[in-house]
């Protein structure tokens, strides 16, 4: 290997190591911040599906890793679910609405500093890829949160997707504390699907989101 090729390879490795890792100099920013993480779907509701890959499982995996990183940096973290189940009332007529209503109520009652609803996206062509953050303007801080998280995840995925305001999402228009819905990637896209099933990349996703929270709370 030539000296030039070695330098290029070393630079690439260092960049890969740095992207998605928590900035240690800002660790105290998260101390005692209360974060509520909502792993989307669960139980009888799989979310989007690709063959035998269920969105609900990846959502939970990302959420558990995110919880671990946040707690290691001093945050107090709650989850709407910690296993494969939903929150719907037994024998309810509208199971989905019951599930989302109970998630929203739990988050509101916590009076947390921020909530993050973790999901995956999907579309028919399989060509769209990358993360996208959605926010409702019910809280004046939501747009800023969406912008910062979108920026950090775009850097990780090498994409340029835009965060988006919505007004028709059941949970987001009912949660009054600051927070957003994070569509981490497209399960329908081959590249995203591969990355999101890798433990190492899930860690990078979690660390990128935590770095975004550091920036927001600083």
Q: What is the pTM of this model?
A: 0.89
Work out the percent of the chain whose per-residue pLDDT is above 70: 88
The dihedrals phi and psi of 98, each to the nearest 5 degrees, come to -60, -45
Per residue in 17-72, pLDDT tens? 445 555 555 568 999 999 999 999 999 999 999 999 999 999 999 999 999 999 99
pLDDT at 90: 92
What CATH number matches the domain at 33-217, 3.40.630.40, 3.30.70.100, 3.30.465.10, 3.30.450.20?
3.40.630.40
Residue 2 scores a pLDDT above 60: no
Where are the strands (E) in the chain, listed by range? 34-39, 49-50, 53-54, 76-79, 114-121, 132-135, 164-165, 179-186
How far is residue 204 from each of residues 21, 107, 187, measured CA to CA in Å? 6, 26, 17
Lookup result for tokens 């660390």: 207
Taking a C-beta distance cutoff of 8 angstroms, is the pair 177, 122 a contact? Answer: no
The structural domains of the chain, with segments of one domain joined by +, span 33-217
Higher-pLDDT residue of 15 and 31 is 31
Q: What is the mean pLDDT of the chain?
A: 91
Q: Per residue in 58-83, is it b (16+ CB within 10 Å) or e — as a string?
A: bbbbbbbbbbebbeebebbbbbbbee
Residue 96: count of CB within 10 angstroms of its CB: 14
Q: How many degrees, rounded to 5, is the angle at CA 217 between CA 213 and CA 218?
A: 115
For residues 133 and 143, give the distance between their C-alpha atoms in angstroms, rounded to a whole number.
10
Residue 87: count of CB within 10 angstroms of its CB: 19
Taking a C-beta distance cutoff of 8 angstroms, is the pair 141, 72 a contact? Answer: no
Residue 194: count of CB within 10 angstroms of its CB: 10
């Amino acid at each position: 290997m030539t000296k030039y090729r070695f330098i290029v390879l070393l630079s690439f490795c260092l960049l890969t190591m740095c992207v998605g890792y928590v900035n240690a100099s800002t660790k105290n920013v998260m101390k005692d911040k209360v974060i509520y993480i909502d792993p989307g779907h669960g139980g009888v509701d799989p979310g989007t599906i690709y063959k035998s890959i269920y969105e609900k499982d990846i959502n939970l995996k990302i959420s558990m890793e995110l919880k671990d990183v946040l707690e290691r940096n001093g945050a107090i973290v709650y989850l709407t679910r910690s296993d494969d189940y939903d929150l719907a009332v037994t024998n309810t007529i509208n199971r989905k609405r019951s599930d989302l209503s109970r998630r929203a109520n739990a988050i509101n009652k916590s009076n947390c500093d921020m909530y993050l609803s973790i999901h995956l996206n999907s579309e028919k062509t399989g060509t769209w890829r990358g993360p996208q953050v959605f926010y409702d303007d019910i809280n004046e801080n939501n747009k800023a949160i969406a912008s910062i998280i979108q920026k950090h995840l775009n850097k990780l995925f090498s994409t340029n997707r835009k965060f988006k305001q919505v007004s028709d999402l059941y949970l987001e228009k009912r949660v009054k504390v600051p927070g957003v819905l994070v569509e981490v990637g497209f399960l329908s896209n081959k590249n995203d699907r591969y990355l999101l099933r890798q433990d190492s990349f899930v860690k990078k996703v979690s660390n990128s989101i935590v770095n975004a929270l550091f920036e927001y709370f600083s």
